[in-house]
Amino acid sequence: MLPDGGRREVAGAPPPPATCCPDLHRAVELVGRRWSGAILWVLLDADRPLRFTDIRAAVPEISDRLLAERLRELEAHDLVAPADAAPGYVPTPSARALRPALVELRTWARRWLA
Amino acid sequence: MLPDGGRREVAGAPPPPATCCPDLHRAVELVGRRWSGAILWVLLDADRPLRFTDIRAAVPEISDRLLAERLRELEAHDLVAPADAAPGYVPTPSARALRPALVELRTWARRWLA
């Protein structure tokens, strides 16, 4: 093994960029799964707990099987929880804290993906 | 067809939530693809064009094949472009406009996925 840990710098070459962003990567892996962003948005936009069929109606392209899977994942990551007072799901504080990022993404899409 | 377009409201039931967010969904589908967020972040963070091998070094878990595929996708969606002045890739204005959303996502991940 070389004294510098095995790396060789080419004289005059710019240093490589820092290794990227594990935090961002974890967030994108979680929120970026197909339909997860849309499901969270629907729950964040509602003023009451939403039942499975409510979410299904608001995200019409998703299948029952995939919606059930996504809800399980989002619950496991503490983004969605069963409501206490009524049947249905509510967003957790973690999901509420994600809202500004989703709003930024939507604003960007409207401007740049039009 | 019913006069109201075929919808029947159950008396007393809350209205269903509005159909969700095609703009947000498109953004999540694009940026949320595995490693796309990390690749964009590396390019946005660099102060010079990055070659394929630079990006590869900064995102060490990605394979050559997948990095090539993602760069093609990002170029097709006008998020990444070949640099004019030097070999390598640079982020486009659309990618630069995405930076606030990625910063928000990273901030959220640091706070809530720790």
Q: What is the mean pLDDT of chain B?
A: 86
**Residue A13 belongs to a domain:** no
Interface of B with A in 94-113 (CB under 8 A): 94, 97-98, 100-102, 104-113
Which of A23, A25, A28 should we substitute to test contact with B (largest number of B Cβ atoms within 10 Å)? A28
Chain B's closest residue to A39, CA to CA, is B20
pLDDT at B58 over 80: yes
**Residue B13 belongs to a domain:** no
CA–CA separation, B113 and B102 (whole Å): 15
Calculate mean pLDDT across residues B106-111: 94
**Residue A14 belongs to a domain:** no
If one counts every other C-beta atom within 10 angstroms of the C-beta of residue B76, the result is 9
Please name the amino acid found at residue A74: L
Angle, helices A93-112/B93-112, rounded to nearest 10 degrees: 180
Residue partners of A3: CB distance under 8 A and separation at least 6: none
- The rounded percent of chain B whose pLDDT value lies above 90 is 66
Gap from A17 CA to chain B (nearest CA, Å) = 6
- Interface A:B, Cβ pairs < 8 A: 157
pLDDT at B36 over 70: yes
Residue A27's CATH number: 1.10.10.10
Please, which residues bridge with residue A90 across strands? A81
Q: What is the pLDDT of residues A26-50, one digit of tens each?
A: 899 899 898 999 999 999 999 999 9
| Residue B30, domain extent | 22-112
CA–CA separation, B64 and A51 (whole Å): 43
**Residue A59 belongs to a domain:** yes
* A99 vs A12, higher pLDDT: A99
| Backbone dihedral angles phi then psi of residue A61, each to the nearest 5 degrees | -85, -10
**Residue A71 belongs to a domain:** yes
**Residue B2 belongs to a domain:** no
Q: What is the pLDDT of residues A57-81, one digit of tens each?
A: 999 889 999 999 999 999 999 999 9
When divided into structural domains, chain A yields a total of 1
**Residue A37 belongs to a domain:** yes
**Residue A5 belongs to a domain:** no
Which H or E run contains B44? helix B36-45
Complex ipTM > 0.95? no
Tell me the Ramachandran region of residue A88: left when phi exceeds 0, alpha when psi lies from -120 to 50, beta otherwise.
left
